[in-house]
Amino acid sequence: MTENTTAFSAIEWTDAGLRLLDQRRLPGEDVYLTIEDAPAAADAITKMVVRGAPAIGITAAYGVVLSARQHYREASHDWLSRVEGDMNLLAAARPTAVNLVWAIEQMRACLRVTPVEPVEVLLAVAARIHREDIEANIRMGAYGENLINKGDSVLTYCNAGSLATGGYGTALGVIRSAWSAGKLEKIYACETRPWLQGARLTAWELIHDRIPVTLITDNSAAFLMQGGQLQWVITGADRVAANGDVINKIGTYQLAVSCRYHGVRMMVVAPLSTLDMAMPAGDQVTIEQRPDNEVLELAGQRVAAAGAAGWNPAFDVTPAALVDCLVTEAGVVHAPDREKLLSLSNAQQPDG
């Protein structure tokens, strides 16, 4: 495995199964769960034991390995069909993140040509997906860091770090690289309601790696920009449509609108596996609707008045026109649009 250059690993393959850091328990407890079959992997994705588009894809890939190990060992004549059923279950766990389906398709392609003994071959593919994600993150970190000037301050949203990826991170990968280069004056993180990924996860992750961070409430961001204290907002993405629209954690769109008004630059950092050229525009993406109680409650305690309803989309769509640059492992796309992304996508297609 490529060194992920952070002090912890949120996803690890072991002989006993897939070991996941339970992100629901952070920052209070570092609890690892061992996932032994594909339904448990799907449940971990749905219940946000693991979250973040690349991490979800990696978990799903290992979930397919778990499925093959279980059903092939049972020597069932229909083990392939059972694995296919598990892949469908994994794909439905969280439908918005394109990396999930991308990773499962990688595993499905392997199954089409796999030899008689499938488990080790599938494990090699899943490990490659994991390794290549870390390598891509490190490259994105370097590309993004080159865009940042010494003395800049940045704001990040949700969690797009080691916890959300195979390691190092997308948005936090850029921040890690820029901090190591001595460029950053200050790093801010929005708390990110309703799951508080910024407060619980990003702050934990940066402090864990001895990188200072200042937490703000989500509704403070525009005021921070108005004061001229911010040069960049840096986020990840769960999907990038063919026209450059960005689907990311709910709240990203309002940050992008505020950035444009205040002259703050908007950087989206995402691997090529997040680019969905089959999706023409962001308004055609199915946005996951999560349970109302996540809005009406906080840490299991109701905070809303009795009788109040909740509305809880997990993601929103940021139009490409509001994105200053998209950073991928293949380089930086300034003012992303359909033509530029098509060119980028074609350049990455294998020969033959």
Last residue of a domain, one of 101, 119, 137: 137
Q: Say if 300 falls within a structural domain.
A: yes
Pick the catalytic residue: 86, 133, 238, 245? 238
The CA–CA distances, whole Å, from 322 to 140, 141, 267 equal 20, 21, 10
Same domain as 327, residue 214: yes
Q: Say if 17 falls within a structural domain.
A: yes
pLDDT in tens, the chain (352 residues): 345 566 678 999 999 999 999 999 999 999 999 999 999 999 999 998 998 888 999 999 999 999 999 988 776 778 888 999 999 999 999 877 788 989 999 999 999 887 677 899 999 999 999 999 999 999 999 999 999 999 999 999 999 999 999 999 999 999 999 999 999 999 999 999 999 999 999 999 999 999 999 999 999 999 999 999 899 999 999 999 999 999 999 999 999 999 999 999 999 999 998 899 999 999 999 999 999 999 999 888 999 999 999 999 999 999 999 999 999 999 999 999 999 999 998 876 644 3
Q: Say if 310 falls within a structural domain.
A: yes
> What is the domain range of residue 125?
11-137
Q: Say if 290 falls within a structural domain.
A: yes
Whether 33 and 66 have beta carbons less than 8 Å apart is answered as no
Helix extents (H) in 26-165: 38-46, 53-73, 79-91, 98-113, 118-145
Same domain as 112, residue 31: yes
Residue 242's domain is classified under what CATH number? 3.40.50.10470
Q: Say if 5 falls within a structural domain.
A: no
Q: Say if 84 falls within a structural domain.
A: yes
At 20, phi and psi to the nearest 5? -120, 135
Same domain as 118, residue 63: yes
- Is 43 tagged catalytic? no
Q: What total of structural domains would you count in the chain?
A: 2
Same domain as 274, residue 194: yes
Same domain as 117, residue 154: no
Q: What is the DSSP letter of 163?
A: G
Q: Give the whole-angstrom CA distance, residue 41 versus residue 316.
A: 25
Q: Say if 352 falls within a structural domain.
A: no
Residue 132's domain is classified under what CATH number? 1.20.120.420
Q: Which residues contact 98 (CB under 8 A, 6 or more apart)?
A: 53, 238, 239, 273, 274, 275, 276, 279
pTM assigned to the model: 0.88
Q: Say if 72 falls within a structural domain.
A: yes
